[in-house]
Amino acid sequence: MKRRDVLKNIALTSVGVATAATGAKADPALNEEELSAKKKKKSPLAGRTQAEADRDAKLLSETFFTPAEMATITILCDIILPADATSGSASQAGVPAFIEFIAKDMPQQQTPLRGGLMWLENQSRKRFGAGFAAISPAQRIQIVEDIAYPEKATPAMKQGTAFFNLMRDLTMTGFYTTEMGFKDLGYIGNQPNVWQGVPEEVLKQFGF
């Protein structure tokens, strides 16, 4: 059963999960003409107010970062969360596009992000004579090592550290709020179920 259908059945029945799975008959009380007519109407808004939907559409139609900036963001995201034995990389999870959206949605992030990218570009040119996207992976890591550890960073690297913290924050959130992130984490909620308390073996493990 598609998620939509599960939901519909739950809305119309009274025993949650059990009946949802069997697709039992709808509850007459909620089946009134007016209500069911409304339910059939597919909505383009889906939980947004008109003003919010308009704003989202406008932001999605705009572009903030240049292609060169996006290339650097993608490289950084994948340094922060690379593909490994457990899950894919940040860019495979669509994190760069998420960061692009956040920059438009939260204008206060535009200067730290764009400025931070420029800072990085400048470091890269000074140290290796080319922009961050053009230097070798090993050279990139040399710079990243200098800005990835806030407690160890030298005063000259502090601004770079602040930028890297921001990139780490957005990459983590951007990754773990995707299906790939859910799988990596092992989050298995957000679905109809019946809570029956902490599983027995966990109770035991914790001495309850």
Partner 1 sequence: MSIQIKEEPKQYDVVIVGSGAGGGMAAYTLAKAGAKVCLLEAGGYYDPADPQYVTQLKAPWESPRRGAGTTRAFGDFDAAWGGWQIDGEPYTTVKGTEFHWFRSRMLGGRTNHWGRISLRFGPDDFRRGSLSGIGDDWPITYDDMKPYYDKVDRLIGIFGSVENFPNEPDGIFLPPPKPRLHELMIQKAAKGIGIPVIPSRLSILTQKINDERGVCFYCHQCNRGCVAYADFSSSSVLVIPALKTGNLTLQNHAMVREVLTDPQTGLCTGVSYVDTRTREEIQVKAKVVVLAASACESARLLLNSKSGRFPQGLANSSGVIGKYLNDSTGAGRQGFIPALMNRKRYNEDGVGGMHVYTPWWLNNNKLDFARGYHIEYGGGMNMPGYGFGMGMQNMNGKYAYADGNTHPAGGYGSRLKEDARRFFGAYVGFAGRGEPIPLESNYCEIDPDKVDKYGIPVLRFHYKWSDHEIKQAKHMQETFAQIIDAMGGTPVGDFKPSAENNYGLAAPGQIIHEIGTVRMGKNSGKSALNEWQQAHDVKNLFVVDAAPFVSQGDKNVTWTILASAMRTSEYIIDQVKANKL
23 sits near partner 1 (criterion: CB under 8 A): no
81 sits near partner 1 (criterion: CB under 8 A): yes
Beta carbon nearer to partner 1, 15 or 129: 15
Beta carbon nearer to partner 1, 56 or 129: 56
Stretches 61-69, 98-106, 116-124, 131-139: which one binds partner 1 (CB under 8 A)? Answer: 98-106
1 sits near partner 1 (criterion: CB under 8 A): no
Q: How far is the CB of 202 from partner 1 (least distance, A)?
A: 6
63 sits near partner 1 (criterion: CB under 8 A): no
Measured between alpha carbons, how far is residue 160 from residues 108, 117, 122, 144 in Å? Answer: 18, 9, 11, 9
188 sits near partner 1 (criterion: CB under 8 A): yes
> Quick one: DSSP state of residue 157?
G
Dist. CA 119–CA 92, nearest whole Å: 26
Task: Note the Cα 40 to chain centre separation in Å.
Answer: 31
Beta carbon nearer to partner 1, 126 or 151: 151
